[in-house]
Homo-oligomer: A and B are copies of this chain.
């Protein structure tokens, strides 16, 4: 195909453009980057217009804007809706980066920058595949793009946008590249994603910081109390103790579990890569099951008292933690958030005040493997990678997948191209050059197969 040829000839240009996008610190979680988030949206708008998209628009929301673009070549042809996000996770701790997070560099065939993989790199593959097909009159399907700027903070305003634009977003499949494959030797398609319930807890003891000598032992310490509460949320079998938490968890059949555990996985490599002596998780489940089909609870951040240099003998007034649970079918995130909130408030001892603030959440999703979209994706991977992809369950969350199937009644296909070593959400996030280009090629083939 000419489009594939075009890709070969424009590799350097496609890389330079991605670097320009990565240089924009579009951190959606931190308000001081608000202007940069918009810059990233404007960058995309300009690029879409340049490569021949129609109806290009920066759609305002209550938060960060959504970039929309489309190309309708023939209403009788199938329509692909591409979803992605141009916002990125905060880059801190900055001191752990080998090179500045927003100054992309190429090192041993890998692109290092915040957002290199999640999701600028993967989202931009669709834009460049579109460019290649447009430039060579090989666009085989109608295509629509919906690229948001709030995925890393819970897509709070996407739901309303989707509901208000059902017509505009009408499509036959939703294509998303925001997940990983097992390895470059084992391409895979994510068919299951976990949901999320994220909240912050604030524990208040005395009305002011106290001298830990004068009051220590006689007044409840909010940090100790927060630790007690957090510790009580899981038992020694690695199970979450919140009443009702597991009620709606769909148990897989023995056959399904066997199938799931067929995915290539080497525990020793896994431990070595993470530098840990032992793994930790829920009893009687494998690592693949623990991240794939089981819900979890993790503290994502904790702080309180004196955290500076040296020592301060303080009994602090407040302690805080950010906690999230990953959810699996058929758990419902608003329901879980309420369960957690009620539970934490109910176990709060009377010598402290506890405030639980729900942050954001999303529902788990399972995508079908018997759809036309999955078949086209499977064929596209096989064509580009020379190997039939394996269906997998991922631990991460893309809440909008559930939203799309509920509101738009359209199934998503998760055509991820990332690898675990990409270290998304971590310092030194990277994306393989091979994956970037191979991803563009795979997308071109998907359009071909889906148009049939």
Contacts and interface: CB of A to CB of B under 8 A. Distances in A.
B220 A230 contact: no
A207 interface: yes
Contacts of A316: 300-301
Interface string A294-321: 1111111111111111111111100111
Protomer copies = 2
A359 B302 contact: no
A351 B278 contact: yes
Given A89-B312, A302-B302, A279 B218 contact: yes
Given A227-B227, A308-B92, A309-B31, A214 B300 contact: no
Given A310-B29, A311-B153, A427 B213 contact: no
B427 A208 contact: yes
- The SS class assigned to the A binding surface is loop
Contacts of A232: 231
A276 B219 CA distance: 9
Contacts of A277: 350-351
Given A90-B310, A215-B274, A224-B298, 8 more contacts: A153-B311, A206-B276, A211-B425, A212-B300, A214-B291, A214-B394, A227-B230, A280-B349
B310 A211 contact: no
A310 B152 CA distance: 10
Contacts of A224: 230-231, 234, 297-299
A319 B306 CA distance: 14
Nearest to A315: B298
14 contacts: A29-B310, A90-B306, A206-B276, A208-B423, A209-B425, A213-B326, A214-B291, A215-B395, A216-B296, A218-B395, A220-B279, A228-B231, A299-B305, A300-B316
B311 A307 contact: no
A220 B305 contact: no
B314 A206 contact: no
Interface of A: 28-31, 89-90, 92-93, 96, 152-154, 180, 194, 196, 198, 205-221, 223-224, 226-228, 230-232, 234, 274-282, 287, 290-291, 294-316, 319-322, 324, 326, 349-352, 359-360, 394-397, 420, 423-428
A366 to B, nearest CB: 15
Nearest to A236: B228
Contacts of A89: 312
Given A231-B227, A231-B228, A427-B208, A220 B276 contact: yes
A198 B300 contact: no
Given A211-B426, A213-B395, A311-B360, A299 B227 contact: yes
A228 B319 CA distance: 16
Given A211-B425, A227-B226, A299 B221 contact: yes
A291 B216 CA distance: 6
For the complex of A and B, list the 5 residue pairs with the smallest distance between their C-beta atoms, beginning with the closest: A29-B310, A207-B275, A217-B296, A213-B396, A220-B280
| Interface-centre pick from A154, A274, A308 (highest chain B CB count, 10 A) | A274
Contact of A301 (B291, B307, B320, B395): B307
Contacts of A396: 211, 213-214
Given A303-B303, A313-B196, A291 B230 contact: no
A269 to B, nearest CB: 14
A27 to B, nearest CB: 9
B425 A210 contact: yes
Contacts of A152: 311-312
Contact of A208 (B213, B228, B312, B426): B426
Nearest to A350: B278
Given A312-B89, A395-B217, A301 B296 contact: no
Nearest to A200: B311
Given A291-B216, A307-B302, A198 B313 contact: yes
A264 to B, nearest CB: 16
A281 B220 CA distance: 7
Contact of A279 (B223, B312, B326, B351): B351
A210 B274 contact: yes
Contacts of A321: 223
B298 A212 contact: yes
A164 B313 CA distance: 29
